[in-house]
Amino acid sequence: MAKPPIPLEPRKDSFQHAFKNMANLVFKRLLHFPSLPSTNTYLKGLAKRGEPEGLIVLADTQTKGIGRLERSWYSPPGGLYFSLLVRPMTITANNTPLITLTTGIAIAKVLQSALGLHPSLKWPNDVLLDRRKVAGILVESAFIDNAIEYSVIGIGINVNTTRMDFPESIQNTLTTLQDKLKRVVNLPRLFGYFVGQLEFWYLKLLDKGFKAIEPHYRGLCMTLGKRVIIDLGDVKLTGQAKGLEPDGSLIIQTPEGMKIIRSGDMISSKPNNTVEQS
């Protein structure tokens, strides 16, 4: 059997250093690896064996990064690839999509406040800059009846890479912070900001519910009010994105009437020709 990967030495690790200086309530432990097949897969393995809420797994690069809809997530060195383990007691299984939406807000807020950028969110899980994808979110959960046993929140952010580091087929769909800012960003510091905001918005979701968060989501979301095409596999649904249901589903007005699309459904929204990084 292949040997398990070895995490980086905590004492010499600048990510651990940035992380330890934070007074976190939820995300208190960090495992940092030079390379993993996928941080989500690794953390799901630990979650299944009873790992408590609050562990983050970070990798400098991934060899089998996973995106939504069974796509792969290309993960060259210079990006941020990490997964966070939560066990939310007050969110029911059918409200799991709210975790994705809340995570998007946290990422966008960091890009705004720490870097002065103007991100937007493409429902349900894309963070865009200038209509190109800069970050993606993959939440994978296990349930016991209508309760969430665990959710692994996987986040991939294109930071100190350039579009040329990615396969040609997706170069026109994505952007990176380095391409946008024309400089390199301090990765450990940026990671610290993300963890701080993720914790803030996660706790707000638990304490106050999505109602308190929704105005922030609406302010950032570029899908609402737009004409969208949703690919449901066998049929394509065309209509106008009217709003959100309390569980985060998208309400679409179609010629046949209102339809509700859950975040789990495949979406290829084409108000602006953006495509998911695959």
Which residues inside 147-166 make contact with ligand BTN, applying CB under 6 A?
Answer: 154-156
Beta carbon of residue 230, minimum distance to ligand BTN (angstroms, whole number): 16
Nearer to ligand BTN, 139 or 244 (CB): 139
Structure tokens at 118: 């103007």
Within positions 216 to 235, which residues make up the interface with ligand BTN, using CB under 6 A? none
Specify which residues 154 forms β-bridges with: 83, 138
* Mask for 79-98, x = binds ligand BTN (CB under 6 A): --xxx---------------
Instruction: For ligand BTN, give the closer residue by CB, 65 or 239.
Output: 65
Q: 77 or 246: whose CB is closer to ligand BTN?
A: 77
Nearest alpha-carbon partner for 214 in 102, 137, 119: 102
Closest CA to 185 of 109, 110, 74, 120: 110
Q: Does 136 bind ligand BTN (CB under 6 A)?
A: yes
User: Which residue minimizes CB distance to ligand BTN?
Assistant: 136
Q: How many CA within 13 A on the CB side of residue 43?
A: 36
Q: Which of 104, 123, 107, 76 is nearest to 274 (CA)?
A: 123
187 binds ligand BTN (CB under 6 A): no
Residue 119 binding ligand BTN, by CB under 6 A: no
Instruction: Pick one of 15, 19, 73, 193: the residue that binds ligand BTN (CB under 6 A).
Output: 73
Which residues 6+ apart lie within 8 Å of 120 measured at CB? Answer: 108, 127, 128, 129, 131, 220, 221, 222
Alpha helix segments (H runs only) across 116-248: 168-171, 177-181, 187-208, 214-220
In the complex, which residues of this chain contact ligand BTN (CB under 6 A)?
Answer: 38-40, 62, 65-68, 71, 73, 81-83, 125-126, 136-138, 154-156, 276
